Amino acid sequence: MRTVSMKTYFEIAKGVVFLFILLALFFGGLKAYGWINHKLAVQEELDNAKLAEARKYKQYADNLVQANTEIVTSLKTEIDKLKKENNVALNQMLDEIKKRDEKITNMGLTIAKMDGDLTKIRVAADKTYKAGTDDPNAYEFKKVVYGFKDDKGKDTEVPVAWVQYFPNREPDKQWKTGVYDLDYYVRTIQSTQKDGQVNTNTQIWFENERDVASRGVKVPLDIKSSEFKQLKKETKEFFWWAPHLSLNVDLGFGLGSLAGGSDGSGQSILVAGGVSFSAMGYGRTVNDLDWRFLDLGVSTNGHDTYGKFTPFAYNLGNVIPIVSNSFIGPFIGYGFAGDVKQDIIFGVGLSIPF
């Protein structure tokens, strides 16, 4: 009858314990992943709420505002509205955009007004000619001015129109009126948010270069509203600088035949966790990447510790939505503590940015 040695029982026991440890790591990892994923989802929701809040209308001055930006998945309705205006020049512009195979990604409308109180017509004429005579060419000339306070709070007036009165002429020939050729300026400044969307800031003013006394004076126009509709950013690009810190779980294989190897059998297997830093990436934004590149990290299982380099990692969320923002990629490492000291390690790592 064949007997089973104590060594065999011991090996079986070791296998059972090892299996138990693997199962504990597996289910513990799932639980940890669920907790981390929940935290990330909550944080992402908070971040999105902050970004949405930052896109709301904000007024810095009467003539300087940040437009209210609404993120949409299609601008077709707005473009169709433009076409229905039946404006020849506008339709020509839209046709040219289409011919150039360009995509409209940002549309908006800013409405400004000039204060309706233009009653600041000087009581005395600004200029007269033969006033008080019967000469039919005698006239009084008055400027219609727009009053405002400049940046220093000083009351300032700039003429926007003029009136010429000939008291000695027939009633239908007594008045001449005109509007100055005013130059209107719209300054647009756009800033890109972390999610790739754009905030639009608008400043509007006019200048009267025809009136010598007012030349160079910027007259702010009161902005009533400024609204933009913007396509959700979907295009992807390479980011040379997309820094991220990540938590990692590694499955590694050490070449134990090297100096300091674990058991001299030629291979050792280890499971470890750690942190890493990646510098580059490719995706929609720096926080929504498909690929990450040049990842450096340190991992340990409490006994064995090693540094590692991951040349690239792919976002599993592209194929498994429930594990969004989880990256998997190959790594090569070098052990500097434990059984893997001075050992070369190869493996696969799963990383979750935080």
Q: What average pLDDT score do residues 207-214 get?
A: 86
Residue type, 84: K
Judged on CB neighbours under 10 Å (0-12, 13-18, 19+), 207 is middle
Please answer whether residues 277 and 243 qualify as being in contact, where contact means their C-beta atoms are separated by less than 8 angstroms. yes
Judged on CB neighbours under 10 Å (0-12, 13-18, 19+), 36 is middle
Q: What is the largest CA-CA distance in the chain?
A: 147
For residue 128, give the H/E element and its range: strand 127-129
Does the pTM of the predicted model rise above 0.75? no
Q: Which tens digit of pLDDT belongs to each residue from 40-56? A: 566 667 777 787 787 78
Only one residue has tokens 């995706």, namely 283
Q: Which tens digit of pLDDT belongs to each residue from 224-275? A: 888 888 777 777 788 888 888 888 888 887 666 443 344 444 446 778 888 9
Q: Which tens digit of pLDDT belongs to each residue from 286-320? A: 888 889 998 999 988 888 888 889 999 999 877 77
Q: Which tens digit of pLDDT belongs to each residue from 140-196? A: 888 888 888 877 888 888 888 888 888 888 888 888 888 888 888 888 777 767 666
Q: What is the mean pLDDT of the chain?
A: 77
- Determine the pLDDT at residue 265: 47
What are the φ and ψ backbone dihedral angles of 282, each rounded to 5 degrees?
-135, 130
pLDDT category, 19, cuts 50, 70, 90? Answer: low
Mutual angle of helices 76-84 and 88-99, in 10-degree steps: 140
**Whether pLDDT at 2 is above 70:** no
